[in-house]
């Protein structure tokens, strides 16, 4: 059962990454076939994050009345339909519509899959499962790059490949039940008991089942007492909201998705002439992203969050600065410098700026505001993802790669300042202590110091 849940998490993450990354390989073919302007290119690419903003809103709104399972089922269905439609689309408008549907599916899945895991998985392996989800996103991106490399002359085949993981998710969810937490919230106690019994290893111990059911009922009470969105802006939660939304704003404006969605374009602008070399270098970026994410999984709880964020933002600012300087001066070594710069940039991102906003969004909000707080943070993620992807082609046409990467580098410098002034150190501190500190009204960034002093 646990393996089944882990695979669902994995497939949802894979789809997230796949639908982000697949445009990288398809773009030059779409450009050639439809002769699109930079603005149209931005709009077409940005339909995925735009749909995801809608999906995240819908997911947050319907998770309780409709249930986690039915929403995931709907998302899986949309993944398949969206992949099919985008593969068959006779015009650019229909490609956009199909990508909007895929975006909706990602938005829903990216919000509901982690919720499904955290509500169904036994506590001792929950952290590991959330990490699997993270890793799966990067594997999905790499998978999309490999598909782009393999079917290098057919964007339709690239888009069609998305049907496979979509169908796998559909089948996986179809045989799962809803989460015990949701069943309890709907007053379906006996069904909840049956689901808990299924997740335990044999022989089933009735006392353990009852104990877990009671714990879930207690947690569900908190869920029912969830504060409103307005409370998020109140004096207690506001510092957490600023950190949660701020980290995602910085994560996205650091330009990561200009690289993830447009990597071959970036390589072309850096002097890589042949499409197959551009795609090969892109695959290399995907591999670095996966490997460093594995490394990050081992480091996050050992090195503090703040230290890791400093390393990430500083590393990203320097590597983006290197590429921008090489491009601005027309350096004869632009190719190699861009390659080194991009590898360092993606590594700095994957070790820190990538995973940490996700980790921190699940720990900083007071319990009764965790639901709305996490929604606000992930909507911020998609809104700024959309802005970066929409504007990249136009900005490149107007101010060149050097100009755009300089802007992203400056954002990373702002990330260092933001971390220094506002981000608390949460590693090794209990969620209860974080909440107590917020209620005490002292600066959020003084968290670790005041918990130690107490």
- Which residues bind to ligand BGC, rule: CB under 6 A? 20, 137-138, 141, 256-257, 260, 289, 354, 381, 385
For residue 143, the minimal CB distance to ligand BGC (Å) is 13
For residue 385, the minimal CB distance to ligand BGC (Å) is 5
For residue 107, the minimal CB distance to ligand BGC (Å) is 12
Relative orientation angle of helices 38-66 and 370-422, to the nearest 10 degrees: 130
Pick the closer one to ligand BGC by CB: 179 or 380.
380
Cα distances (Å, whole numbers) of residue 408 to 68, 308, 349, 393: 36, 19, 12, 14
For residue 86, the minimal CB distance to ligand BGC (Å) is 19
Pairwise CA distance, residues 314 & 103, whole Å: 31
Pick the closer one to ligand BGC by CB: 179 or 293.
293
Pick the closer one to ligand BGC by CB: 24 or 96.
24
Task: Count Cα atoms within 13 angstroms, Cβ side, for 82.
Answer: 26
Pick the closer one to ligand BGC by CB: 341 or 366.
341
Cα distances (Å, whole numbers) of residue 329 to 273, 326, 334, 399, 402: 19, 5, 9, 14, 9
**Closest Cα to residue 406, out of 337, 331, 301, 323?**
323
Pick the closer one to ligand BGC by CB: 137 or 376.
137
For residue 292, the minimal CB distance to ligand BGC (Å) is 10
Pick the closer one to ligand BGC by CB: 8 or 24.
24
For residue 270, the minimal CB distance to ligand BGC (Å) is 20
Pairwise CA distance, residues 451 & 293, whole Å: 30
Q: Enumerate residues 6+ apart whose C-beta is below 8 A from 54.
A: 103, 104, 107
Cα distances (Å, whole numbers) of residue 211 to 72, 179, 428: 28, 16, 27
Pick the closer one to ligand BGC by CB: 110 or 216.
110
For residue 211, the minimal CB distance to ligand BGC (Å) is 36
Residue 338 CB neighbour total at 10 angstroms: 24
For residue 404, the minimal CB distance to ligand BGC (Å) is 17
Pairwise CA distance, residues 80 & 128, whole Å: 28
Cα distances (Å, whole numbers) of residue 123 to 120, 215, 382: 9, 12, 29
For residue 256, the minimal CB distance to ligand BGC (Å) is 5
- The two three-digit tokens of residue 16, written as one number: 């997230």
Pick the closer one to ligand BGC by CB: 11 or 185.
11
Buried b (16+ CB within 10 A) or exposed e, 42-62: bbbbbbbbbbbbbbbbbbbeb
Pairwise CA distance, residues 260 & 142, whole Å: 10
- The two three-digit tokens of residue 192, written as one number: 């909840």
In contact, 92 and 27? CB cutoff 8 Å: no
For residue 272, the minimal CB distance to ligand BGC (Å) is 21
Pairwise CA distance, residues 18 & 140, whole Å: 4
3-state secondary structure of 231: helix
Pick the closer one to ligand BGC by CB: 56 or 73.
56
Pick the closer one to ligand BGC by CB: 20 or 178.
20
> Which residue in the shown chain puts its C-beta closest to ligand BGC?
354
């Amino acid at each position: 059962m646990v393996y089944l849940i882990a695979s669902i998490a994995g497939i949802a993450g894979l789809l997230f990454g796949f639908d982000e990354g697949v445009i990288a390989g398809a773009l030059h073919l779409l450009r050639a076939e439809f002769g699109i302007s930079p603005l149209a290119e931005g709009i077409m690419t940005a339909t995925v994050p735009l749909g995801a903003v809608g999906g995240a809103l819908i997911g947050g709104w319907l998770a309780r009345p409709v249930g986690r399972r039915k929403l995931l089922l709907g998302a899986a269905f949309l993944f398949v339909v969206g992949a099919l439609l985008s593969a068959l689309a006779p015009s650019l408008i229909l490609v956009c519509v199909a990508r909007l549907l895929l975006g909706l599916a990602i938005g829903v899945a990216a919000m509901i899959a982690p919720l499904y895991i955290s509500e169904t998985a036994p506590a001792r392996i929950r952290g590991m499962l959330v990490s699997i989800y993270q890793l799966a996103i990067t594997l999905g991106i790499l998978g999309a790059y490999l598909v782009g490399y393999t079917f290098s002359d057919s964007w339709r085949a690239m888009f069609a490949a998305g049907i496979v993981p979509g169908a796998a998710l559909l089948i996986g969810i179809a045989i799962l039940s809803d989460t015990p937490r949701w069943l309890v919230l709907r007053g379906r106690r006996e069904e909840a008991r049956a689901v808990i019994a299924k997740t335990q290893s044999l022989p089933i111990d009735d006392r353990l089942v009852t104990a877990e059911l009671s714990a879930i009922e207690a947690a569900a009470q908190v869920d029912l007492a969830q504060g409103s969105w307005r409370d998020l802006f109140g004096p207690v939660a506001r510092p957490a909201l600023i950190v949660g939304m701020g980290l995602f704003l910085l994560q996205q404006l650091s330009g990561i998705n200009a690289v993830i969605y447009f990597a071959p374009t970036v390589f072309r602008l850096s002097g890589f002439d042949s499409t197959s070399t551009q795609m090969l270098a892109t695959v290399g970026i995907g591999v670095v992203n996966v490997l460093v994410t594995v490394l990050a999984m081992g480091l996050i709880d050992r090195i503090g969050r703040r230290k890791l964020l400093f390393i990430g933002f500083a590393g990203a600012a320097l590597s983006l600065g290197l590429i921008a300087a090489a491009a601005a001066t027309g350096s004869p070594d632009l190719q190699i410098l861009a390659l080194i710069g991009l590898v360092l940039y993606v590594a700095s991102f994957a070790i820190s700026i990538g995973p940490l906003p996700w980790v921190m969004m699940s720990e900083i909000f007071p319990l009764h505001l965790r639901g709305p707080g996490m929604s606000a943070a992930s909507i911020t993620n998609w809104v700024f993802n959309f802005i970066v992807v929409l504007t990249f082609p136009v900005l490149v046409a107007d101010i060149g790669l050097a100009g755009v990467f300089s802007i992203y580098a400056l954002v990373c410098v702002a990330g260092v300042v933001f971390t220094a002034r506002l981000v608390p150190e949460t590693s090794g501190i209990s969620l209860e202590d974080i909440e107590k500190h917020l209620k005490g009204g002292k600066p959020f960034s003084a968290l670790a110091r005041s918990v130690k002093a107490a």
